[in-house]
Structure 1
Amino acid sequence: MALLSVHSIELSLKVCQGTNILLKYFTIIMVIFLHIPQTCNARKSKRHCPPSACGHIRDISYPFRLNSDPKHCGFSEAELACEGNKTFIWLFSKKLYVQAINYHNHTIRLVDPTLQRDDLCSLIPPYLTFHHYNTARFHPHYNYTRGSESNIKRAAEPIFMFNCPFAINTFLEISGCKSSRYTYLKIGEMNASEVGDGCRAEFIGLTSWPNIKDHVHNNIISLSDFHQAILYGFELYYIGFTECM
């Protein structure tokens, strides 16, 4: 009987040891499992920050944030600055003025603050080019699929202004500034082969001005129209800001 009691005790100890090991593994698994939603909730808190405001931009919220907001709000790539009651963002190594943010269609409208608003004939700085600007987060267009068809949705159209020593009938001539050269405007994609030798690009950019296509369709445009289109700014889709699912 004594031997059986000792054997029983040994078996009980082994069972207890096995149970303790299982409990340890179970505890570790539970800690990991419980930590996952906490991590997700911490990341999702980017959405749950109160909105900020600067000037006429009254609802600065996810994925954007002001540089004075807590760092856990929004994304650093979408950080805005409030200067002189105006909202700015740094994109493409340029400081751009934020005209509007549309959270419904995920667009932000921007304009270069160095544009000359009063002088129509010298409104554009010579270095201003936005045509090829793209980042992982901001795009002037995006591809989407509807059924079996692939389409491109554009938030802004490329816009070119160039002058030539001779007349080109296939482009819209802009009148209004005295010049010994012919000045032309082109909306939409353009190849270098479309422009003759001796022509010089004055501006390559983007515009989202709602009326610009109507002017081009009617083949009538003035320098003031072009000026208004540029000052209206261009929209970019903001995409790729993801959180923990």
Structure 2
Amino acid sequence: MHEDQLLLALFLLLLSQSFIIAIEDNQCTTSCGEIANISYPFRLRGDPKICGNPNYELACINNRTVLDFDSAKLQRGNCSSLPLRSLSCHSFRLQPNSYKCGAYEFYGRELSKTVSIVNCQKAVASQFYLDVSPCLDGVELSNFSSTRGRLYAMVDANISNMEIACTIELMAMIPGWVDGDDLRSYAQIHEQMVYGFELSWLPIAAEMYCKHHYYWDISRQHEHQIQCGPKSKNF
């Protein structure tokens, strides 16, 4: 074995032993509320650095295990409530090997969709634009970048259906299994915003099982189990 390979093996062994010791010494929190098996790659905020992966940090708030973005201000039954800040799938693309969502296909469907609150300088007559009044009438929107005009909500907005006189002011996320065509009012959209959205930690799971020398595949054919194989194989 070459010297560099020996050093790498020794480093991985020490890292593994450090992680085991941290757990045995109860330095890593493994439960919060009803969740009793928190383990790598996940970690809880405040635990030692050796615990889990920082890209998968969770928070234990009011005895609930949550992925805390400091953006939630939504209230069930109150459609005038809005997130404190925008959140979209792009927020997760900033971290390599982090969560996947949006256009990423998982089990043959999207995990999450994006809802955009748009500010238009004139009225828009389009099936893609759902009027947010009376829900947001009179609501202070101090973070808006331009003069307040007519507000609309759009599900998975794209360049082809965006009007020139409209700007996206806030983004939130809803479950990918929701059919946007079935959402006929902003109140219905808000219900889905309160429900939340779905993410996948498949990238790091595949890295753990397949390493960087292999591709990964997960499908109904394999009963949703990770399958590893040569990189050259297409799937």
Same fold (TM over 0.5): yes
Distance 1:182 1:224 in 2: 17
Aligned-pair CA distance for 1:64: 0.4
Inter-partner Cα distance in structure 1 for 2:131 and 2:45: 41
Q: Deviations over 1:124-180 (max 9, x none)?
A: 146324252122123325768xxxxxxx96321122232533132241424661659
- How far 1:55 sits from its partner (Å)? 2.5
Deviations 1:26-61 (A, max 9, x none): xxx699877665543444565895871213433321
**CA RMSD of superposed structures (Å):** 4.0
Deviation for aligned residue 1:86: 3.0
2:41 aligned with 1:78, yes or no? no
In the alignment, does 2:99 pair up with 1:138? yes
Which residue does 2:128 correspond to in 1?
Answer: 171
After superposition, give the CA deviation of every residue in 1:198-220 in whole Å (9 maximum; x if it has no partner): 4343432322163x21xx234x4
CA contact (8 A) 1:208 1:235 kept: yes
Aligned-residue offset at 1:182: 5.2
List aligned pairs for 1:114-129, cutoff 5 A.
114-121=73-80, 123-125=81-83, 127-129=85-87
**Which residue of 218, 221, 244 corresponds with 2:184?**
221
Counterpart secondary structure, 2:198: strand
Q: Report what 1:62 is aligned to.
A: 40
| TM-score (norm: length of structure 1) | 0.57
- Report the equivalent of 1:113: 72
Q: Could you tell which deviates more after superposition, 126-135 or 34-43?
A: 34-43
Residue matched to 1:230: 193
Give ranges in structure 2 of 5+ residues lacking alignment. Answer: 139-148, 212-235
Alignment of 1:1-245 (within 5 A): 37-44=9-16, 49=23, 52-89=30-67, 94-95=69-70, 112-121=71-80, 123-125=81-83, 127-133=85-91, 134=93, 135-136=95-96, 137-141=98-102, 154-164=110-120, 165-174=122-131, 177=134, 179=137, 183-191=151-159, 194-208=161-175, 210=177, 212-213=178-179, 216-218=180-182, 220-238=183-201, 239-240=203-204, 242=207
* Aligned-partner SS, 1:60: coil
Q: Which amino acid aligns with 1:231?
A: V
Q: State the distance in 1 between where 2:37 and 2:15 align.
A: 21
TM-score relative to the length of structure 2: 0.58
Deviation (angstroms), 1:233: 1.7
Q: Report the secondary structure of 2:193's partner residue.
A: helix
CA–CA separation in structure 1 for the residues paired with 2:77 and 2:57: 30
Shift of 1:237: 2.6
Structure of greater Rg: 1
Read off the aligned partner of 1:40 and give its amino acid letter. L
Contact kept, 8 Å, 1:209 with 1:232, in 2: the verdict is no
Letter in 2 for 1:119: N
Where 2:36 maps in the other structure, the secondary structure is: strand
* Cα distance, 1:76–1:196 mapped onto 2, change above 3 Å: closer
